Amino acid sequence: MGLEKVLAAGGTATVLTAAGIYGIARYFFNRTMIRSNAKREKTKEMAGTDWDAYIPKIRQAKERLQQFFHKEITIFSEDGLKLQGTYFPLEGSKKTVICFHGYTSEGLNDYSTLALFYREHGFNLMIVDERAHGKSEGTYIGFGCLDRKDALLWIQEMVRMGGEDCEILLHGDSMGGATVLMASGLNLPHQVKAIVSDCAFTSAWEVFASVLKARYHLPAFPILHAANEMVIKKAGYSLKECNAKTEVAKTKIPILFLHGEADSFVPCSMAHELYQACVSEKKLVLIEGAGHVESCYRDSQLFEGSVREFIFPFFSQ
């Protein structure tokens, strides 16, 4: 039963009882945080983007990408999970883009068209499956809070493979965007030259509070507080553990913020908050009419042009 049906069956009065609060919180935790229950179809529905128009282009790009030589790369997280990614080397290149996908997706699904774009501009590709997604291990989804530590390990692996003179770009969309922004405040290797963030949220707590209010007309208190206790106990972290606004407020890495103005999943206001908080060299580009993570398809000329104009000057030609 979906949450809408649970609310319809119980009514507001039931939700406000202790049992009702616990039941909704447990449903939220089970359906959102646990890998086996987090469904891609539900995420697509909530995001509101009509992907049918782009599927042929995405499939074509994915087929073309797979024709290039690639190999699987494995690393291990601090908590012992096997993390998997696909590496597409480009002979003679010292530039690498590490790509982090969105919630309930996986690397090669989110990065096919964009991977070809970066390859055409001389980048090696490291396309990651984040913990509890794709070929990577994990039961509980990290929502950037845990993934940012994994991102640091991927960066270190690329430096090991590419050498001290390599140059690294981080690109993330949605949850992956939050991941790279949350990682921006860590003590990153000097090889990380820039970051691209597409439709990132500020924190897991704030985006869930937004969804509860916009979609279910429910306040964060007390449901999200109860759910967070479950996250802490089961997944080992808090939904408030990391906020990308705090991290970009101490980073020195240039950041390009991209966001669809019609995003109904991660509100565009979060892009403004992140941009305002960022203290490094930065640029904000809003794509008119674009929904959640739709910008690179809705207006590829503006999206790719913004990356070329703002990001590429930080890298050797």
Q: pLDDT, tens digit, for every residue of 155-198?
A: 999 999 999 999 999 999 999 999 999 999 999 999 999 999 99
Of 275, 206, 194, 268, the C-alpha closest to 243 is 206
- Closest-CA residue to 242 (of 300, 292, 289, 175): 175
Integer Cα distance of 208 and 64 in angstroms:
36
pLDDT of residue 3 exceeding 70, the answer is: no
| Cβ atoms of 209 and 224 closer than 8 Å | yes
Structure tokens belonging to residue 193: 């030259």
Mean pLDDT for the stretch of residues 18-39: 91
pLDDT confidence band for 53 (50 / 70 / 90): confident
Please provide the average confidence, as pLDDT, over all residues in the chain.
93
Give pLDDT tens digits for 223-257: 999 999 999 999 999 999 999 999 999 999 999 99
Q: Report pLDDT for 4.
A: 54
pLDDT at 317: 72
What average pLDDT does range 81-99 have in this prediction? 98
The reported pLDDT for the residue numbered 133 is 98
Radius of gyration of the chain (CA): 19
d(CA 40, CA 25): 20
Which residues have a Cβ under 8 Å from the Cβ of 238 and sit 6 or more positions away? 145, 228, 231, 232
Which candidate, 162, 220, 197, 219, places its Cα nearest to that of 284?
197
For the segment 38-57, the average pLDDT, to the nearest whole number, is 82
pTM of the model: 0.94
Task: Indicate the Cα dihedral angle 49, 86, 231, 4, nearest 10°.
Answer: 20
> Which domains, and CATH codes, for the chain?
1-33+207-241 (no CATH), 46-203+242-314 (3.40.50.1820)
Short-list 84, 71, 305, CA closest to 196? 305
H or E element at residue 259 = strand 255-260
